[in-house]
Structures are given as C-alpha cells and as structure tokens.
Amino acid sequence: MVDEEEYVRYRADSKVLAAIGEHVDAQVDRVTVRLPRAVAEAAMDAWERDELGDLGKETHEQYALRDQAGDLALIGLVISERGRWEGEEVVIDLDVVFAGAAVRASL
C-alpha cells in the first residue's frame, strides 16, 4: 500500500525544487564548456540522424533513454551551429538545461 502522505511531501518538495530552478535560471543562462572531438562528433551525428517509425508504448526506462538521446541531439545542434573548434576540442556556450542533463546522465 502506498503512503499518500509521502506523495504530498514529494509534491511539496517538487515545488521547492522548481523554486530553486527559477532562481538558478535567473542567474545562469549558459555555461561555456570544452568537449573532446570524439564526443562532439558523436553528438553532431545524433543531431543528423533521422528517427523514423512508430514508437508504440514505451516503458519508463525506454522513455528516459529516448529523452537523453534527444538532449544529446540538441547538444549536437548547438555544436554544429555555434561550436568553435580549437584543436581536438570544441568550445560551446551550452544552455544550463542541457549541461544539467549531461551531468545527470553521467551519474
């Protein structure tokens, strides 16, 4: 049996997290990051890839994986449009949302 009181607390916690997010968003828009060529090129490949077909019903894990793949593709778009190559690295000003998604994926 699920304790509904826990979910009331979780909902309140979610609102506090959102409030923190509003403050962070007001203070940090983009972060400058350096990425090695191999991962930068993989991100650009993800952006250029066509995903065709009907997905059908997804599990939570499948949805999360597809969401991460979408974040990677959008980082690839940023690299393609605004990346500055410096030797074997690319320098990009990355939206903090995508920087956070990449950090969460690494944990």
Instruction: Count CB atoms within 10 A of the CB of residue 72.
Output: 20
pLDDT at residue 16 greater than cutoff 80: yes
DSSP tally for the chain: helices H, then strands E: 4, 3
Convert the pLDDT of each residue in 54-103 to its tens digit.
778 999 999 999 999 999 999 999 999 999 999 999 999 999 999 999 99
Phi, psi of 31 (to 5 degrees): -125, 140
Count of positions (residues) in the chain: 107
Task: Indicate whether this model's pTM tops 0.75.
Answer: yes
Report angle CA 53, 54, 57 to the nearest 5 degrees. Answer: 145
SS3 (DSSP) at 33: strand
The per-residue pLDDT for 2 is 66
Q: What is the mean pLDDT of residues 3-15?
A: 91
pLDDT at residue 50 greater than cutoff 60: yes
